[in-house]
Structure 1
Amino acid sequence: MRAPLILIAGLAVAGAAWAGNCPVDMKAIDAKLAAKPTLSKEDADKVAKLRKSGEDHHKAGKHAESMKDLGEAKKILGI
């Protein structure tokens, strides 16, 4: 009986930690964009789309999808 409870508690803590990274990544992307990096129009549009999608996924509780989109935006920005 104890093992399943420990597993559930561990997953809850891990989920909260994972969710906490989304806003940090969004702030990093926003800061880099504020510095006016040199990007092609296509890359700038893609970063904006990924940033918006990441925020939408975060708000919907889909943190894995959020981190995927935000990670891709960060990669384009060289973060």
Structure 2
Amino acid sequence: MIVRISIALFLALAPVNAFANQCPTMMAAIDAALPNASLSEADMAKVKQLRQQGEQLHQSGDHTGSEASLGEAKKMLGL
């Protein structure tokens, strides 16, 4: 019985963990692209703000919001 509960709990939490791990990958891609990005000052500031917002949301546990923010930054960078 305990094994079944453990397996059920693992399966229930596995997608959350997989989703949470996507945020750091997205942040790393943004960080790698920033030095070579050819954006206006305003767009560069916006990308950096979205990147910071994404990290803060990730740290607070809002992975959906984090992915949305980071996804917008990646789109602006052409990633």
Q: Specify the TM-score bucket, using the shorter chain as the normaliser.
A: 0.7 to 0.9
Count of equivalent residues: 74
Gaps of 5+ in 2: none
CA–CA distance in structure 2, aligned partners of residues 11 and 68 of structure 1: 23
Residues 1-79 of structure 1: pairs in structure 2 closer than 5 A: 6=8, 9-35=10-36, 37-79=37-79
Gaps of 5+ in 1: none
* TM-score, normalisation: structure 2: 0.85
Give the CA RMSD over aligned residues: 1.5
What do residues 3-39 of structure 1 show as CA deviations (whole Å, max 9, x unaligned)? xx74x5433100000000000000000000022x110
Q: Spell out structure 1 runs of 4+ moving beyond 4 A.
A: none
Larger Rg: 2
